[in-house]
Amino acid sequence: MAKAKKLSEFRVERDEEKCIKCQVCVRMCANDVHTYDPETDTVRADSFKCVGCHFCEDLCPTAAITIEYNPTQTKENAHWKRESIYDIVKQARTGGILLTGMGNDQAYKNYFDHLVLNASQVTNPSIDPLREPMELRIHLGRKPDKIDCRLQMTEEGRKKYQIRTRIPPQLELEVPILFTAMSFGSISLNACKSLAKAACKFGTYWNTGEGGLHRDLYPYAHRAIVQVASGRFGVNEEYLERAAAIEIKIGQGAKPGIGGHLPGEKVSEEISHTRMIPIGTDALSPAPHHDIYSIEDLKQLIFALKEATRYTKPVGVKIAAVHNVAPIASGIVRAGADFVAIDGIRGGTGAAPTIIRNNVGIPIELAIAAVDQRLREEGIRNQVSLIAAGGFRSSADVTKGIALGADAVYIGTAALIALGCHVCQKCYTGKCNWGIATQDPYLTKRLNPEIGAEHAGNLLRAWSLEIKEMMGGMGINVIDSLRGNREQLRALGLNEVELRLLGLKHAGEAW
Protein backbone atom coordinates (compact mmCIF):
# COMPACT_ATOMS: atom_id res chain seq x y z
CA MET A 1 0.00 0.00 0.00
CA ALA A 2 1.25 3.42 -0.88
CA LYS A 3 2.36 5.79 1.82
CA ALA A 4 -0.40 8.08 2.95
CA LYS A 5 0.06 11.36 1.25
CA LYS A 6 -0.52 14.22 3.61
CA LEU A 7 -2.58 17.14 2.56
CA SER A 8 -0.43 20.09 1.76
CA GLU A 9 -2.98 22.82 1.72
CA PHE A 10 -0.50 25.62 1.46
CA ARG A 11 2.77 26.38 -0.23
CA VAL A 12 5.36 28.36 1.65
CA GLU A 13 7.30 30.38 -0.91
CA ARG A 14 10.48 32.14 0.08
CA ASP A 15 12.15 34.75 -2.08
CA GLU A 16 15.80 33.81 -1.59
CA GLU A 17 16.91 37.21 -2.82
CA LYS A 18 14.97 38.94 -0.07
CA CYS A 19 15.58 36.43 2.76
CA ILE A 20 18.26 37.75 5.15
CA LYS A 21 18.37 34.50 7.19
CA CYS A 22 17.21 36.28 10.32
CA GLN A 23 15.28 33.09 11.23
CA VAL A 24 12.38 34.90 12.81
CA CYS A 25 10.09 32.48 11.02
CA VAL A 26 12.07 29.52 12.38
CA ARG A 27 11.60 30.69 15.93
CA MET A 28 8.04 31.86 15.60
CA CYS A 29 6.08 29.21 13.73
CA ALA A 30 4.46 26.95 16.31
CA ASN A 31 3.96 24.35 13.60
CA ASP A 32 7.71 24.06 13.01
CA VAL A 33 7.43 24.70 9.30
CA HIS A 34 10.67 26.63 8.91
CA THR A 35 14.14 25.23 9.63
CA TYR A 36 17.57 26.71 9.22
CA ASP A 37 20.35 24.66 7.66
CA PRO A 38 23.66 26.14 8.84
CA GLU A 39 25.69 24.15 6.33
CA THR A 40 24.13 25.73 3.32
CA ASP A 41 23.02 28.85 5.19
CA THR A 42 19.48 28.51 3.94
CA VAL A 43 16.06 28.62 5.55
CA ARG A 44 13.80 25.83 4.35
CA ALA A 45 10.11 25.23 4.72
CA ASP A 46 8.10 22.05 5.14
CA SER A 47 4.89 23.15 3.49
CA PHE A 48 3.08 20.04 4.66
CA LYS A 49 2.97 21.37 8.19
CA CYS A 50 1.76 24.85 7.30
CA VAL A 51 -1.79 25.71 8.41
CA GLY A 52 -1.95 29.00 6.55
CA CYS A 53 -2.12 31.33 9.54
CA HIS A 54 0.09 33.92 7.81
CA PHE A 55 1.97 34.71 11.00
CA CYS A 56 5.44 34.29 9.48
CA GLU A 57 4.41 36.29 6.45
CA ASP A 58 3.37 39.07 8.78
CA LEU A 59 6.61 38.96 10.77
CA CYS A 60 9.19 38.55 8.03
CA PRO A 61 11.10 41.86 8.02
CA THR A 62 11.86 41.75 4.30
CA ALA A 63 8.53 40.32 3.14
CA ALA A 64 10.38 37.34 1.71
CA ILE A 65 7.64 34.82 2.61
CA THR A 66 4.42 34.26 0.71
CA ILE A 67 1.88 31.69 1.84
CA GLU A 68 -0.11 30.48 -1.12
CA TYR A 69 -2.99 28.13 -1.48
CA ASN A 70 -1.62 24.96 -2.99
CA PRO A 71 -3.32 24.27 -6.32
CA THR A 72 -5.29 21.06 -6.39
CA GLN A 73 -3.31 17.88 -6.41
CA THR A 74 -6.11 15.52 -7.32
CA LYS A 75 -7.85 15.38 -10.62
CA GLU A 76 -10.50 18.03 -10.76
CA ASN A 77 -13.81 16.55 -9.71
CA ALA A 78 -16.88 18.52 -8.75
CA HIS A 79 -18.09 15.77 -6.47
CA TRP A 80 -14.95 14.20 -5.03
CA LYS A 81 -13.28 17.36 -3.91
CA ARG A 82 -9.80 17.42 -2.48
CA GLU A 83 -11.09 17.82 1.09
CA SER A 84 -13.30 14.75 0.83
CA ILE A 85 -10.45 12.63 -0.45
CA TYR A 86 -7.97 13.73 2.19
CA ASP A 87 -10.49 13.50 4.99
CA ILE A 88 -11.10 9.89 4.07
CA VAL A 89 -7.37 9.22 3.95
CA LYS A 90 -6.98 10.72 7.42
CA GLN A 91 -9.86 8.73 8.84
CA ALA A 92 -8.67 5.52 7.23
CA ARG A 93 -5.37 5.98 9.08
CA THR A 94 -6.71 7.10 12.46
CA GLY A 95 -10.25 5.80 12.78
CA GLY A 96 -11.21 9.02 14.55
CA ILE A 97 -13.68 11.87 14.37
CA LEU A 98 -12.29 14.80 12.40
CA LEU A 99 -11.96 17.99 14.39
CA THR A 100 -11.95 21.58 13.32
CA GLY A 101 -12.11 25.10 14.68
CA MET A 102 -13.93 28.32 13.79
CA GLY A 103 -17.27 28.47 11.98
CA ASN A 104 -18.75 26.54 9.08
CA ASP A 105 -16.70 27.17 5.93
CA GLN A 106 -19.05 25.49 3.45
CA ALA A 107 -20.52 27.37 0.52
CA TYR A 108 -24.09 27.36 1.82
CA LYS A 109 -26.30 30.19 0.71
CA ASN A 110 -25.45 33.29 2.66
CA TYR A 111 -28.67 35.22 3.12
CA PHE A 112 -26.97 38.39 4.30
CA ASP A 113 -25.44 38.60 0.85
CA HIS A 114 -28.93 38.50 -0.65
CA LEU A 115 -30.32 41.36 1.43
CA VAL A 116 -30.12 45.07 0.69
CA LEU A 117 -31.00 48.01 2.90
CA ASN A 118 -33.22 50.97 2.20
CA ALA A 119 -32.45 54.69 2.17
CA SER A 120 -34.61 57.80 2.26
CA GLN A 121 -35.11 59.81 -0.90
CA VAL A 122 -37.31 62.92 -1.12
CA THR A 123 -40.35 61.62 0.78
CA ASN A 124 -38.64 61.53 4.13
CA PRO A 125 -35.35 63.10 5.05
CA SER A 126 -32.22 61.16 5.81
CA ILE A 127 -30.27 62.08 8.93
CA ASP A 128 -26.63 63.08 9.15
CA PRO A 129 -25.24 61.02 12.01
CA LEU A 130 -22.15 63.16 12.38
CA ARG A 131 -24.17 66.25 13.24
CA GLU A 132 -27.43 64.95 14.60
CA PRO A 133 -28.12 62.78 17.62
CA MET A 134 -28.14 59.11 16.80
CA GLU A 135 -28.87 56.50 19.42
CA LEU A 136 -27.39 53.03 19.38
CA ARG A 137 -28.04 52.37 23.06
CA ILE A 138 -30.21 49.37 23.82
CA HIS A 139 -31.45 47.55 26.89
CA LEU A 140 -31.43 43.80 26.99
CA GLY A 141 -33.96 42.16 29.22
CA ARG A 142 -37.62 41.47 29.75
CA LYS A 143 -39.86 44.46 29.10
CA PRO A 144 -43.18 44.82 30.91
CA ASP A 145 -46.42 44.58 28.93
CA LYS A 146 -47.33 48.10 29.92
CA ILE A 147 -45.76 50.83 31.96
CA ASP A 148 -47.60 52.64 34.70
CA CYS A 149 -46.24 56.14 34.56
CA ARG A 150 -47.65 58.93 36.75
CA LEU A 151 -47.20 62.63 36.45
CA GLN A 152 -46.33 64.25 39.73
CA MET A 153 -45.65 67.74 40.91
CA THR A 154 -42.50 68.28 42.90
CA GLU A 155 -42.51 70.64 45.87
CA GLU A 156 -41.01 73.37 43.72
CA GLY A 157 -43.98 72.95 41.45
CA ARG A 158 -42.12 71.18 38.66
CA LYS A 159 -43.51 68.26 36.71
CA LYS A 160 -41.96 64.90 37.27
CA TYR A 161 -42.79 61.53 35.81
CA GLN A 162 -42.62 58.55 38.04
CA ILE A 163 -42.53 55.00 36.70
CA ARG A 164 -44.44 52.73 39.01
CA THR A 165 -44.02 49.48 37.13
CA ARG A 166 -41.21 47.35 38.40
CA ILE A 167 -38.86 46.99 35.46
CA PRO A 168 -37.07 43.63 35.38
CA PRO A 169 -33.26 43.80 35.39
CA GLN A 170 -31.74 45.08 32.14
CA LEU A 171 -28.31 45.22 30.57
CA GLU A 172 -27.51 48.60 29.10
CA LEU A 173 -25.40 48.54 25.92
CA GLU A 174 -23.99 51.57 24.14
CA VAL A 175 -23.83 49.56 20.96
CA PRO A 176 -25.94 46.55 19.95
CA ILE A 177 -22.92 44.30 19.66
CA LEU A 178 -21.59 41.96 22.36
CA PHE A 179 -18.62 39.65 22.45
CA THR A 180 -19.88 36.12 22.34
CA ALA A 181 -19.04 33.25 24.68
CA MET A 182 -15.42 32.22 24.38
CA SER A 183 -14.04 30.44 27.38
CA PHE A 184 -10.64 30.83 28.96
CA GLY A 185 -9.42 27.48 27.73
CA SER A 186 -10.68 27.77 24.22
CA ILE A 187 -8.87 31.10 23.98
CA SER A 188 -5.97 32.52 25.96
CA LEU A 189 -6.28 34.71 29.01
CA ASN A 190 -4.79 37.59 27.03
CA ALA A 191 -7.50 37.16 24.42
CA CYS A 192 -10.19 37.11 27.14
CA LYS A 193 -8.66 40.18 28.71
CA SER A 194 -8.55 42.05 25.41
CA LEU A 195 -12.25 41.50 24.81
CA ALA A 196 -13.25 42.11 28.42
CA LYS A 197 -11.38 45.41 28.50
CA ALA A 198 -12.80 46.52 25.18
CA ALA A 199 -16.32 45.64 26.35
CA CYS A 200 -15.91 47.68 29.54
CA LYS A 201 -14.48 50.63 27.70
CA PHE A 202 -17.12 50.63 25.05
CA GLY A 203 -20.09 49.98 27.28
CA THR A 204 -21.01 46.55 26.07
CA TYR A 205 -20.62 43.03 27.43
CA TRP A 206 -18.33 40.06 27.04
CA ASN A 207 -19.11 36.44 27.82
CA THR A 208 -17.04 34.01 29.87
CA GLY A 209 -18.17 30.89 28.00
CA GLU A 210 -18.30 27.81 30.13
CA GLY A 211 -14.78 28.14 31.44
CA GLY A 212 -15.33 29.96 34.69
CA LEU A 213 -14.12 33.42 35.59
CA HIS A 214 -10.38 33.86 36.02
CA ARG A 215 -9.44 36.13 38.91
CA ASP A 216 -7.51 38.42 36.54
CA LEU A 217 -10.83 39.09 34.87
CA TYR A 218 -12.63 40.13 38.06
CA PRO A 219 -12.12 43.84 37.27
CA TYR A 220 -14.22 43.31 34.14
CA ALA A 221 -16.83 41.05 35.74
CA HIS A 222 -19.39 43.84 36.03
CA ARG A 223 -19.61 43.67 32.24
CA ALA A 224 -19.47 39.88 32.00
CA ILE A 225 -22.24 37.53 31.01
CA VAL A 226 -21.32 34.27 32.71
CA GLN A 227 -22.33 30.96 31.28
CA VAL A 228 -23.87 28.03 33.08
CA ALA A 229 -23.35 25.04 30.84
CA SER A 230 -24.03 21.35 31.26
CA GLY A 231 -20.64 20.70 32.90
CA ARG A 232 -21.21 23.56 35.39
CA PHE A 233 -17.49 24.27 35.31
CA GLY A 234 -16.44 27.13 37.54
CA VAL A 235 -20.04 27.81 38.54
CA ASN A 236 -20.45 28.76 42.14
CA GLU A 237 -22.23 31.42 44.11
CA GLU A 238 -19.38 33.91 43.74
CA TYR A 239 -19.27 33.47 39.96
CA LEU A 240 -22.98 34.22 39.73
CA GLU A 241 -22.64 37.08 42.16
CA ARG A 242 -19.91 38.90 40.26
CA ALA A 243 -21.57 38.67 36.86
CA ALA A 244 -23.77 41.22 35.12
CA ALA A 245 -25.99 38.53 33.65
CA ILE A 246 -26.20 34.76 33.40
CA GLU A 247 -26.55 32.71 30.25
CA ILE A 248 -27.64 29.09 30.37
CA LYS A 249 -25.86 27.45 27.50
CA ILE A 250 -27.98 24.81 25.86
CA GLY A 251 -26.33 24.78 22.49
CA GLN A 252 -23.87 26.37 20.16
CA GLY A 253 -24.17 26.95 16.41
CA ALA A 254 -20.98 25.12 15.57
CA LYS A 255 -22.07 21.99 17.37
CA PRO A 256 -25.78 21.83 18.06
CA GLY A 257 -26.83 18.89 20.16
CA ILE A 258 -23.43 17.67 21.17
CA GLY A 259 -21.41 18.20 24.29
CA GLY A 260 -18.06 19.85 24.68
CA HIS A 261 -14.77 18.32 25.57
CA LEU A 262 -11.66 20.13 26.72
CA PRO A 263 -8.93 17.49 26.59
CA GLY A 264 -6.99 16.87 29.79
CA GLU A 265 -3.69 18.06 28.35
CA LYS A 266 -5.17 21.53 28.02
CA VAL A 267 -6.33 21.63 31.64
CA SER A 268 -3.33 23.51 32.98
CA GLU A 269 -3.01 24.89 36.48
CA GLU A 270 -4.70 28.17 35.58
CA ILE A 271 -7.49 26.48 33.66
CA SER A 272 -7.98 23.97 36.45
CA HIS A 273 -8.36 26.89 38.80
CA THR A 274 -11.08 28.71 36.90
CA ARG A 275 -12.98 25.55 35.92
CA MET A 276 -12.51 24.15 39.42
CA ILE A 277 -11.42 20.72 38.32
CA PRO A 278 -8.12 18.91 38.95
CA ILE A 279 -5.21 19.53 36.58
CA GLY A 280 -5.05 17.16 33.62
CA THR A 281 -8.58 15.73 33.75
CA ASP A 282 -10.84 15.96 30.73
CA ALA A 283 -13.45 18.65 31.13
CA LEU A 284 -16.51 16.88 29.75
CA SER A 285 -19.62 18.92 29.09
CA PRO A 286 -22.48 16.47 28.63
CA ALA A 287 -24.61 16.97 25.52
CA PRO A 288 -27.74 17.92 27.49
CA HIS A 289 -28.05 19.47 30.90
CA HIS A 290 -29.26 16.46 32.81
CA ASP A 291 -31.50 18.63 34.90
CA ILE A 292 -33.19 19.93 31.74
CA TYR A 293 -35.26 17.55 29.66
CA SER A 294 -38.14 19.94 28.99
CA ILE A 295 -39.18 23.58 28.95
CA GLU A 296 -40.54 23.08 32.46
CA ASP A 297 -37.12 21.85 33.59
CA LEU A 298 -35.46 24.80 31.91
CA LYS A 299 -37.78 27.07 33.82
CA GLN A 300 -36.55 25.48 37.00
CA LEU A 301 -32.93 26.20 36.24
CA ILE A 302 -33.75 29.75 35.17
CA PHE A 303 -35.53 30.36 38.44
CA ALA A 304 -32.93 28.52 40.49
CA LEU A 305 -30.45 31.04 39.09
CA LYS A 306 -32.79 33.97 39.62
CA GLU A 307 -33.40 32.90 43.19
CA ALA A 308 -29.67 32.48 43.77
CA THR A 309 -29.06 36.01 42.51
CA ARG A 310 -32.23 37.41 44.07
CA TYR A 311 -33.78 38.52 40.79
CA THR A 312 -31.14 41.22 40.38
CA LYS A 313 -29.72 40.18 37.03
CA PRO A 314 -31.02 38.96 33.69
CA VAL A 315 -30.91 35.22 33.09
CA GLY A 316 -30.85 34.21 29.43
CA VAL A 317 -30.63 31.04 27.42
CA LYS A 318 -28.41 30.32 24.46
CA ILE A 319 -29.48 27.78 21.86
CA ALA A 320 -28.27 26.73 18.46
CA ALA A 321 -30.48 27.58 15.51
CA VAL A 322 -32.14 24.29 14.60
CA HIS A 323 -35.23 23.35 12.62
CA ASN A 324 -37.63 23.95 15.48
CA VAL A 325 -35.98 27.13 16.67
CA ALA A 326 -39.12 29.29 16.77
CA PRO A 327 -41.29 27.09 19.02
CA ILE A 328 -38.26 26.36 21.20
CA ALA A 329 -37.56 30.06 21.60
CA SER A 330 -41.19 30.63 22.46
CA GLY A 331 -40.92 27.99 25.17
CA ILE A 332 -37.78 29.61 26.50
CA VAL A 333 -39.52 32.97 26.77
CA ARG A 334 -42.41 31.36 28.57
CA ALA A 335 -39.95 29.65 30.87
CA GLY A 336 -38.92 33.09 32.09
CA ALA A 337 -35.71 33.85 30.21
CA ASP A 338 -34.80 37.53 29.99
CA PHE A 339 -32.93 37.08 26.75
CA VAL A 340 -32.54 34.36 24.17
CA ALA A 341 -29.29 34.03 22.27
CA ILE A 342 -29.52 32.12 19.02
CA ASP A 343 -26.39 30.86 17.33
CA GLY A 344 -26.64 30.06 13.62
CA ILE A 345 -24.95 27.41 11.52
CA ARG A 346 -21.94 29.63 10.91
CA GLY A 347 -21.20 30.10 14.60
CA GLY A 348 -17.58 29.53 15.57
CA THR A 349 -15.96 27.16 18.01
CA GLY A 350 -12.62 26.31 19.57
CA ALA A 351 -13.11 22.69 18.64
CA ALA A 352 -15.94 20.72 17.08
CA PRO A 353 -16.32 17.65 14.94
CA THR A 354 -16.10 18.89 11.35
CA ILE A 355 -19.06 16.80 10.30
CA ILE A 356 -21.30 18.46 12.89
CA ARG A 357 -20.04 21.96 12.28
CA ASN A 358 -20.57 21.68 8.55
CA ASN A 359 -23.90 19.91 8.48
CA VAL A 360 -26.08 20.66 11.51
CA GLY A 361 -28.26 23.68 12.14
CA ILE A 362 -29.80 26.47 10.08
CA PRO A 363 -28.55 29.92 9.03
CA ILE A 364 -29.03 32.66 11.59
CA GLU A 365 -30.84 34.95 9.14
CA LEU A 366 -33.72 32.49 8.81
CA ALA A 367 -33.68 31.78 12.55
CA ILE A 368 -33.96 35.46 13.52
CA ALA A 369 -36.88 36.00 11.19
CA ALA A 370 -38.66 32.84 12.32
CA VAL A 371 -38.23 33.54 16.02
CA ASP A 372 -39.11 37.23 15.82
CA GLN A 373 -42.20 36.40 13.79
CA ARG A 374 -43.35 33.68 16.12
CA LEU A 375 -42.86 35.75 19.27
CA ARG A 376 -44.77 38.64 17.72
CA GLU A 377 -47.61 36.39 16.69
CA GLU A 378 -47.82 35.06 20.21
CA GLY A 379 -47.70 38.55 21.64
CA ILE A 380 -44.63 37.87 23.76
CA ARG A 381 -41.89 39.58 21.77
CA ASN A 382 -41.60 42.31 24.42
CA GLN A 383 -40.92 39.73 27.10
CA VAL A 384 -37.51 38.89 25.79
CA SER A 385 -34.46 40.30 24.05
CA LEU A 386 -33.09 38.42 21.11
CA ILE A 387 -29.35 38.18 20.60
CA ALA A 388 -28.31 36.76 17.24
CA ALA A 389 -24.98 35.07 16.67
CA GLY A 390 -23.19 33.06 14.08
CA GLY A 391 -21.02 34.57 11.40
CA PHE A 392 -21.63 38.32 11.57
CA ARG A 393 -18.83 39.74 9.43
CA SER A 394 -19.57 43.44 9.16
CA SER A 395 -21.73 46.30 10.36
CA ALA A 396 -23.99 45.57 7.40
CA ASP A 397 -24.64 42.03 8.66
CA VAL A 398 -25.39 43.49 12.11
CA THR A 399 -27.77 46.10 10.68
CA LYS A 400 -29.55 43.49 8.56
CA GLY A 401 -29.77 41.16 11.55
CA ILE A 402 -31.42 43.86 13.64
CA ALA A 403 -33.80 44.80 10.82
CA LEU A 404 -34.76 41.14 10.60
CA GLY A 405 -35.71 41.16 14.27
CA ALA A 406 -32.69 40.82 16.58
CA ASP A 407 -32.14 43.20 19.50
CA ALA A 408 -28.39 42.75 19.44
CA VAL A 409 -25.68 40.67 17.90
CA TYR A 410 -22.94 38.53 19.38
CA ILE A 411 -19.64 38.58 17.54
CA GLY A 412 -16.90 36.00 18.04
CA THR A 413 -14.84 35.33 14.94
CA ALA A 414 -14.93 39.01 13.93
CA ALA A 415 -13.62 39.97 17.37
CA LEU A 416 -10.81 37.42 17.14
CA ILE A 417 -9.86 38.65 13.69
CA ALA A 418 -9.51 42.07 15.30
CA LEU A 419 -7.00 40.45 17.68
CA GLY A 420 -5.00 38.93 14.84
CA CYS A 421 -6.77 35.68 13.93
CA HIS A 422 -6.47 34.71 10.27
CA VAL A 423 -9.22 32.07 10.43
CA CYS A 424 -6.93 29.14 9.74
CA GLN A 425 -9.43 26.93 11.63
CA LYS A 426 -6.76 25.17 13.66
CA CYS A 427 -7.94 26.45 17.05
CA TYR A 428 -8.35 22.88 18.32
CA THR A 429 -4.62 22.15 17.99
CA GLY A 430 -3.70 24.64 20.70
CA LYS A 431 -0.91 25.98 18.49
CA CYS A 432 -2.40 29.30 17.47
CA ASN A 433 0.51 31.43 16.32
CA TRP A 434 -1.45 34.57 17.02
CA GLY A 435 -1.63 33.78 20.73
CA ILE A 436 -5.41 33.48 20.68
CA ALA A 437 -6.54 29.86 20.66
CA THR A 438 -3.65 28.53 22.71
CA GLN A 439 -2.45 28.25 26.30
CA ASP A 440 1.26 27.93 25.45
CA PRO A 441 2.93 30.85 27.25
CA TYR A 442 5.42 31.22 24.38
CA LEU A 443 2.50 31.88 22.05
CA THR A 444 0.07 33.70 24.34
CA LYS A 445 2.53 36.45 25.16
CA ARG A 446 2.38 37.47 21.51
CA LEU A 447 -1.01 38.96 22.19
CA ASN A 448 -0.75 42.13 24.22
CA PRO A 449 -4.10 42.65 25.95
CA GLU A 450 -3.73 46.43 25.84
CA ILE A 451 -3.29 46.43 22.10
CA GLY A 452 -5.86 43.68 21.71
CA ALA A 453 -8.41 45.74 23.64
CA GLU A 454 -7.63 48.75 21.50
CA HIS A 455 -8.15 46.81 18.29
CA ALA A 456 -11.36 45.14 19.49
CA GLY A 457 -12.58 48.54 20.69
CA ASN A 458 -11.69 50.11 17.35
CA LEU A 459 -13.78 47.48 15.62
CA LEU A 460 -16.78 48.33 17.79
CA ARG A 461 -16.27 52.02 17.12
CA ALA A 462 -15.93 51.55 13.38
CA TRP A 463 -19.01 49.36 13.16
CA SER A 464 -21.09 51.74 15.26
CA LEU A 465 -20.12 54.63 13.01
CA GLU A 466 -21.13 52.60 9.99
CA ILE A 467 -24.39 51.47 11.55
CA LYS A 468 -25.21 55.08 12.30
CA GLU A 469 -24.51 55.99 8.68
CA MET A 470 -26.82 53.27 7.45
CA MET A 471 -29.51 54.23 9.95
CA GLY A 472 -29.18 57.87 9.07
CA GLY A 473 -29.65 56.98 5.43
CA MET A 474 -32.87 55.23 6.28
CA GLY A 475 -34.01 58.24 8.27
CA ILE A 476 -33.89 56.35 11.54
CA ASN A 477 -32.16 57.87 14.55
CA VAL A 478 -32.86 55.27 17.24
CA ILE A 479 -31.73 51.69 16.79
CA ASP A 480 -34.86 50.47 18.56
CA SER A 481 -36.85 51.69 15.56
CA LEU A 482 -34.83 49.48 13.27
CA ARG A 483 -35.46 46.29 15.20
CA GLY A 484 -37.73 44.02 13.21
CA ASN A 485 -38.31 46.84 10.73
CA ARG A 486 -38.25 44.53 7.74
CA GLU A 487 -39.56 47.14 5.35
CA GLN A 488 -36.02 48.48 5.44
CA LEU A 489 -34.82 45.27 3.84
CA ARG A 490 -35.32 43.87 0.38
CA ALA A 491 -34.21 40.52 -0.93
CA LEU A 492 -32.16 39.93 -4.04
CA GLY A 493 -32.54 36.66 -5.90
CA LEU A 494 -34.48 34.71 -3.26
CA ASN A 495 -37.39 32.44 -4.03
CA GLU A 496 -40.95 32.69 -2.74
CA VAL A 497 -40.39 30.32 0.17
CA GLU A 498 -37.33 32.21 1.31
CA LEU A 499 -39.16 35.51 1.06
CA ARG A 500 -42.02 34.15 3.10
CA LEU A 501 -39.72 32.76 5.77
CA LEU A 502 -37.71 35.95 6.01
CA GLY A 503 -40.85 38.07 5.86
CA LEU A 504 -39.33 40.20 3.13
CA LYS A 505 -40.31 41.70 -0.19
CA HIS A 506 -38.12 41.30 -3.19
CA ALA A 507 -36.03 44.24 -4.34
CA GLY A 508 -38.10 46.28 -6.74
CA GLU A 509 -41.30 45.96 -4.74
CA ALA A 510 -42.43 49.18 -3.12
CA TRP A 511 -43.96 49.45 0.38
- The rounded distance, in Å, linking the Cα atoms of 230 and 49 is 36
- The rounded distance, in Å, linking the Cα atoms of 340 and 136 is 20
Q: Is 178 in the site for ligand SF4 (CB under 6 A)?
A: no
* Binding partner of 185, given ligand SF4, another protein, none, CB within 5-8 angstroms per partner class: none
Q: Whose Cβ is closer to ligand SF4: residue 228's or residue 443's?
A: 443
Q: Whose Cβ is closer to another protein: residue 96's or residue 379's?
A: 96
Other C-beta atoms lying within 10 Å of the C-beta of residue 116: 14
The pairing of beta strand 260-262 with beta strand 177-179: unpaired
Name residues contacting ligand SF4, limited to 3-42 (CB under 6 A): 12, 29, 31, 33
| Least distance in angstroms from the C-beta of 427 to ligand SF4 | 3
Q: Which of 9, 43, 51, 316 binds ligand SF4 (CB under 6 A)?
A: 51
Q: Whose Cβ is closer to another protein: residue 202's or residue 428's?
A: 428
* Binding partner of 368, given ligand SF4, another protein, none, CB within 5-8 angstroms per partner class: none
- Helix, strand or coil, per DSSP, at residue 385: strand
Q: Is 452 in the site for ligand SF4 (CB under 6 A)?
A: no
- Bridge partners, 11 (sequence order): 68
Q: Is 117 in the site for ligand SF4 (CB under 6 A)?
A: no
* Binding partner of 425, given another protein, ligand SF4, none, CB within 5-8 angstroms per partner class: ligand SF4
Q: Which amino acid is at 388?
A: A
- The rounded distance, in Å, linking the Cα atoms of 419 and 220 is 18
- The rounded distance, in Å, linking the Cα atoms of 113 and 186 is 30
- The rounded distance, in Å, linking the Cα atoms of 490 and 505 is 5
* Binding partner of 52, given ligand SF4, another protein, none, CB within 5-8 angstroms per partner class: ligand SF4
Q: Which of 318, 346, 400, 426 binds ligand SF4 (CB under 6 A)?
A: 426
Site for another protein, rule CB under 8 A: 90-91, 93-99, 228, 230-232, 235-238, 240, 261, 263-264, 272, 276-278, 280-282, 284, 286, 290-291, 300-301, 303-305, 307-310, 353, 428-429
Q: Is 55 in the site for ligand SF4 (CB under 6 A)?
A: yes
Q: Is 421 in the site for ligand SF4 (CB under 6 A)?
A: yes
* Binding partner of 434, given another protein, ligand SF4, none, CB within 5-8 angstroms per partner class: ligand SF4
Q: Is 256 in the site for ligand SF4 (CB under 6 A)?
A: no
- Helix, strand or coil, per DSSP, at residue 63: coil
* Binding partner of 421, given ligand SF4, another protein, none, CB within 5-8 angstroms per partner class: ligand SF4
Q: Is 56 in the site for ligand SF4 (CB under 6 A)?
A: yes
* Binding partner of 470, given ligand SF4, another protein, none, CB within 5-8 angstroms per partner class: none
Q: Which of 64, 99, 102, 175 binds ligand SF4 (CB under 6 A)?
A: 102
* Binding partner of 427, given ligand SF4, another protein, none, CB within 5-8 angstroms per partner class: ligand SF4
Q: Which of 437, 474, 479, 491 binds ligand SF4 (CB under 6 A)?
A: 437
* Binding partner of 432, given ligand SF4, another protein, none, CB within 5-8 angstroms per partner class: ligand SF4
Q: Is 53 in the site for ligand SF4 (CB under 6 A)?
A: yes
Please give, one letter per residue, the 3-state secondary structure of 387-402.
Answer: EEECCCCCHHHHHHHH
Residue 413 region by backbone torsions, left for phi larger than 0, else alpha for psi between -120 and 50, else beta: alpha
- Helix, strand or coil, per DSSP, at residue 443: helix
Dihedral, 413, 417, 420, 426 alpha carbons, nearest 10: 40
DSSP assignment, residue 12? Answer: E
The stretches of 364-448 forming alpha helices (DSSP H) are: 364-377, 395-404, 413-419, 441-444
Contacts of 305 (CB under 8 A, 6+ apart): 228, 240, 246, 248, 315
Nearest to 413 by CA among 358, 346, 348, 459: 348
Q: Which of 136, 235, 436, 460 binds ligand SF4 (CB under 6 A)?
A: 436
